A and B are shown apart, each in its own frame.
Chain A
Amino acid sequence: MSQTQSKESSQVPDLSTDKTPPKEEVEEEEKPPYYKRITDDDLYRNSSQYRMWSYTADHLREKRSETCQRATEVVNRKLEEFVNTHQDELTEEDMKILKLKASPLTMDEELKLINFYSKKVQVIAQHLNLPTEVVATSITFFRRFYLENSVSEYDPKNLVHTTIFLACKSENYFISVDSFAKKAKSSRDAILKYEFKLLESLKFSLLNHHPYKPLHGFFLDIQTVLHGKVDLKYMGQIYDRCKKRITDALLTDVVYLYTPPQITLAILLMEDEQLVKRYLGMKFGKEETPEEGDIDSKKKDASAPDTEDTESKDKESTKKAPEDINFDKLFSVIEECKQTLKNSESVSTEEAKRVAAKNYYCQKPDILLQKLKRKKEATDLEDGEPTSKKQKLDE
């Protein structure tokens, strides 16, 4: 996997002119038992968010299509069964209607419904006055659930409260189920009914890395890298606006395609492209900026091996590994992420209603037929035309 790659790339090249092996090599040669270099990136690679919930765009599509196809098959089979068992009662017209109206959701329709309800989760969680991170986790849980399950298997409206309730517990914001039910105008049983199913669908992974903390971190780091060159009051405004944008981003697919720092930078890019360019240019750019020069000279000093301890780290000598981050590559990644964010559109209530209805009727063909029959009767009555006549005509 990439583990080994990153290990190599994070290694210090041989800068020393004498025969002293660079620090890293000493460690690599004489490995004590269980020795393993773990960079901060490795730490992220080890997180469940990366291991279980990070996908390439293709994989994500495949995953959704699998889930959708599995659901489609079930729905179709049930429809077939319904037709078979009700063969004698169903008229040709009924069959026509079934064929036309009772069809499973497409992948796109599913996604629309999920997106619509994700937003609903956010609104309800915020309405319950939950802290930002709890809201974020609720949204994340909900969307992950529907990567594994189809809306035709579990009606999204039944999972809204369950995800929020579990997110509260997972984020140490415990509310008893009774008071939660009261606040959310739901019931204890409804909330708990799918809790296990939810946990299982989440593959028992509950810890999320949301971009809020990275945003806070970049807020600080920009202050040091662009020291004296940014207005703090302006930075404060940017920070608040970005925070809102992060919550919106959680409603999109970027959370599967990019890492939290990348998403954060993409959002900063949307707010102030010049700021991000200056900051990243200073930090990772190839052109020698004064700060860069400083870091470089420090690095050479620090390459003198530490006699005390091969690992000991002196705050002053903390330096980035050369070629660790490639400015151009990073920039293209966050630009891409920004585009994905821009292209994510919200779903209108009408559209959502239409899809929800379709989702409902394809699973309940009898109700669909009844409803249409009633509707027809109503129109027939208006027209004053007897039903039987029309039926005859059709025959």
Chain B
Amino acid sequence: MSTQMITGTMDDYDDNKDMCPICKTDRYLSPDLKFLVNPECYHKICENCVDRIFSLGPAQCPYKHCDKILRKNKFKTQVFDDVAVEKEVDIRKRVFNVFNKTLEDFNDNLEEYNKYLEDVEEIVYNLDHGIDVEKTEEKLRTYEELNKQLILNNLERSKQAMENFSQRQQFEKDMKLKKKLLERQIEEEERFNKEWAKKEIVNRLSAAAAGTAGGDTNDVIEGVRNTVKLKKSSARRKLEELNLVLKNNPYFANTNMAGAGGAHPRSSIPYTPFNGDRDLHQRFALQEDKYSDPLVQELEKRSDYTASGFRSDYVYERVLTEAFMGLGCVISEERA
């Protein structure tokens, strides 16, 4: 496909943005009208036409002069008004899914990284403008083949970034919901307390009136109010706690989400659960099913052992670790 082809056909049809050039239905008259495009040629066709023309199988594009064979399942909603943009975005997406290195992969060497980005831009440009398509496609394939693992890693990484993003949204949503619930609870409690205070004051005052002559009204009111104050509800305490969490929400501090494949919001040091505190190349592999160890296997069957949490694999792991722990330390050399 060439640029000329697209722009050329565009001219023929693109007079009305809201009208399907095939069936001439106008969005003005049918507001549900939805346009689809197929990345083979990016010709805009309404949903109904796509259904009609491609339901029975692949068919030629209904646009004049366009000989592309299109499949229904490849049609997609057009995101950008300008199909040229739409096309470029698709190409970019495809290329960047393969060429997905980040600055980190270049050990923060900006120069190399920039050079790499330029190369990638050239690929995008070539594909977008139909220059050396075949050669460029080949380049893309070769790179993909060679860097499979790295590509997968980086995809995983950006997926992680997205996950963190959605985690953060979920977290905020949860917290806000909890907050609302608590606020309602507090409101209710306060209403209840007010009622209670009113009644209590009346009760106490009438009791005072009935009993001893002198009962300072102000004192009674003050007393009841203090009681209410002291009844700091657990809901309120929880709300305070929640507010603190929201205030310190670490997700907020990490909103610098760069574009897909860009910097992820975690600190650059990956999480290492053990900080190196284990042997990555233990000299044995635990193979419980292959051991005959009557003594241990007998204990395993005893209920007092089972119920206590006794585990034969712990026993095996321990003795095996000790069998190889220090095997490689040659004292006569190391302590010389």
Contact = CB atoms under 8 A, between A and B. Distances in A.
A256 B335 CA distance: 11
Given A40-B325, A259-B327, A318-B282, A307 B269 contact: no
A212 to B, nearest CB: 9
Contact of A38 (B148, B276, B316, B324): B276
Interface residues of A, number: 75
B329 A259 contact: yes
Interface string B296-336: 00000000000000000000101111111111111111111
B15 interface: no
Contacts of A221: 284, 320, 323
A55 interface: yes
Given A10-B281, A311-B272, A324-B281, A261 B149 contact: no
Given A30-B270, A40-B279, A232-B292, A333 B321 contact: no
Contacts of B153: 20, 305, 307
Contacts of B272: 27, 32, 35, 309-311
The DSSP consensus for interface residues of chain B is loop
B294 to A, nearest CB: 8
B80 interface: no
Nearest to B271: A309
B28 interface: no
Contacts of A321: 280-281
Interface string B94-137: 00000000000100000000000000000000000000000000
B330 A333 contact: yes
Interface string A8-31: 001010001011100110110011
A313 B279 CA distance: 10
Contact of A309 (B152, B273, B282, B292): B273
Interface in A308-325: 308-313, 315, 318-321, 324-325
A171 to B, nearest CB: 16
B268 interface: yes
A12 B146 CA distance: 22
A325 B327 contact: yes
How many chain B residues sit at the interface, stated as a range, is 35 or more
B335 A311 contact: no
Contacts of B284: 217, 221
Contact of A18 (B146, B273, B327): B146
Contacts of A57: 332
Contact of A261 (B274, B275, B290, B323): B323
A207 B243 CA distance: 50
A11 to B, nearest CB: 9
A224 interface: yes
Nearest to B320: A217
Given A209-B326, A261-B327, A324-B283, A313 B319 contact: no
B319 A216 contact: yes
Nearest to B267: A32
B323 A217 contact: yes
Contacts of A320: 281-283
Nearest to B318: A213
5 contacts: A10-B281, A38-B276, A41-B328, A259-B327, A308-B156
